[in-house]
Amino acid sequence: MDCNEFKREMTSLFDADVDKALAAELKEHLLTCSACSADFYEMEEVVECLNPRYLPSAPVLLKQNIINHLSKEKQPMKNKTTRTFRLNSTIKKVAAIAAVLVAVIIAIPLLHKGNESLVGEAKAGNSLLESSIKATGLIKNMVMKLRVRTLPNDNFALVGTEYDMVEHTISKSFEKPEKWRIDKGGRVVVCDGKQQLMWIPMANGVYKGSLDAGFVEWFRILLDPESVLRKEQTGITDKTSEVRMAEKDGEIHMTVTSKAQGNFINDYSKNRSINESDNRREYVFSSQTKLIKSLKIYVLEGSKETLILETESIDYNVPISPSTFALALPKGAEVTDLAAVQNIKSETFSTISSKRAAEIIFDSMAKNRWDAVKVPFAQYNFLLMKLIKRKCSGLKVVKIGEPFKSGLYPGEYVPCEVVLRDGYTRKICLALRNDNENKVWLVDGGL
């Protein structure tokens, strides 16, 4: 492989389902050519920074746009059809698994039906869960170490079979006010009982949010094992899950298999044919205490199964240093107060449609009038703003499409087509949300 070929193909290294032979050739060239490796690492850095995933609430589906954008930016000559196809299949998988997890883990049952009609293992499973819920209600604190297939710097919600396992630590104090910390290396969220703070080292930023800020997304349910158990109980009494039980050596093993019911069923998702995936949860309980000792979650795709989450250890009622539930502000970090964002006021951006908001935002970027868009970019810190300015100053708007809603995202997506200064056309799906006090449209991702 020569340098030209490498430059043309290097973005393939970001594809999960890259052709193995091609990847091997690229890696070989990467190792032997310093000019190309410098190019590659520079691009990798840019890709990392452009991702909206550094925003606290960037929706998973927006990754689509970034990767599409990347392929256009770096490979204008390449055959678009094959490339888009390959990328889409990767994204589809990521989104499908996110949907599975949202459906399986986040939904906390409101009703709990009786177990009169249950027989055999379902009945045993149900009563084990009942005892476990009682036991879990008495614990004072918990430290859970787990591995999840994700990216260390990404949203907590991001999970995909193609990623490597990333270590996470969850610490939780159940004494009122409840305090907790979730650390995945590239992101740390701490709840000190009054507020949540998220530290993102890569953006050198700290986001401050209320007690119910969505920084950790569906991970929140892992903070509350009781909810996980109740969810499983509902699956069993509803007969939407199949349960297998076995007891040995002081442990009770419970395996629950069920079909996922995705929530991503509107048009946007249908276009991407997001399928539901079956999945299996393997629990181990202590026979004596009835507390969960371990949990594994597998995604089942046809005959293939992938372990996507696995606990390494769960310790109950252990000493936890008070400093665990406090975040020492890193030097030079910029603090963005999302409570202030919640109360933001703007006559202009609160009385219009999301489409009109997108028009104003793109028009201001085209004219380099960044002061005019301070309000919609309130969630972006200095570093992120710098990147956006570098990329979007002087762009030209080709078309702004009709807004739509998708999945669990509370805002709206506005599909847009723009030409950046480098002359290439980009399709952008701007995520705008106005679920704040004064219904002001805020940019939430997509750029």
Residues that bind Zn ion (CB under 5 A): 3, 33, 36
Q: Which is nearer to Zn ion, 26 or 159 (CB)?
A: 26
Rounded least distance, CB 10 to Zn ion, Å: 10
Q: Which is nearer to Zn ion, 33 or 106 (CB)?
A: 33
Rounded least distance, CB 29 to Zn ion, Å: 6
The residue behind tokens 């800020």 is 213
Q: Which is nearer to Zn ion, 9 or 154 (CB)?
A: 9
Rounded least distance, CB 422 to Zn ion, Å: 22
Written as six digits, the tokens of 105 are 């883990």
Q: Which is nearer to Zn ion, 36 or 50 (CB)?
A: 36
Whether omega for the bond prior to residue 52 falls within 30 degrees of 0, making it cis, is no
Q: Which is nearer to Zn ion, 36 or 392 (CB)?
A: 36
Residue 44 CB: number of other CB atoms within 10 A? 14
Rounded least distance, CB 30 to Zn ion, Å: 8
- Paired with 64 in beta bridges are none
Q: Which is nearer to Zn ion, 30 or 297 (CB)?
A: 30
Rounded least distance, CB 40 to Zn ion, Å: 9
Q: Which is nearer to Zn ion, 30 or 432 (CB)?
A: 30
**CA 36 to the chain's CA centroid:** 31
Rounded least distance, CB 27 to Zn ion, Å: 12
CB hemisphere CA count around 11 (13 angstroms): 22
Q: Which is nearer to Zn ion, 10 or 206 (CB)?
A: 10
Rounded least distance, CB 50 to Zn ion, Å: 24
Cα distance between residue 159 and residue 198, in whole Å: 19
Rounded least distance, CB 7 to Zn ion, Å: 8
Q: Which is nearer to Zn ion, 36 or 129 (CB)?
A: 36
3-state DSSP of the chain? CCHHHHHHHHHHHHCCCCCHHHHHHHHHHHHHCHHHHHHHHHHHHHHHHHCHHHCCCCCHHHHHHHHHHHHHHHCCCCCHHHHHHHHHHHHHHHHHHHHHHHHHHHCCCCCCCCCCCCCHHHHHHHHHHHHHHHHHCCCCEEEEEEEEECCCCCCCCCCCCCCCEEEEEEEEECCCCCEEEEECCCCEEEECCCCEEEEEHHHCEEEEECCCCCCCHHHHHHHCHHHHHHHHHHHHHHCCEEEEEEEECCEEEEEEEEECCCCCCCHHHHHCCCCCCEEEEEEEEECCCCCEEEEEEEEEECCEEEEEEEEEEEEECCCCCHHHHCCCCCCCCEEEEHHHHHCCCCHHHHCCCHHHHHHHHHHHHHCCCHHHHCCCCCCCCHHHHHHHHHHHCCCEEEEECCCECCCCCCCEEEEEEEECCCCCEEEEEEEEECCCCCCCCEEEECC
Rounded least distance, CB 166 to Zn ion, Å: 31
Rounded least distance, CB 78 to Zn ion, Å: 18
Rounded least distance, CB 33 to Zn ion, Å: 3
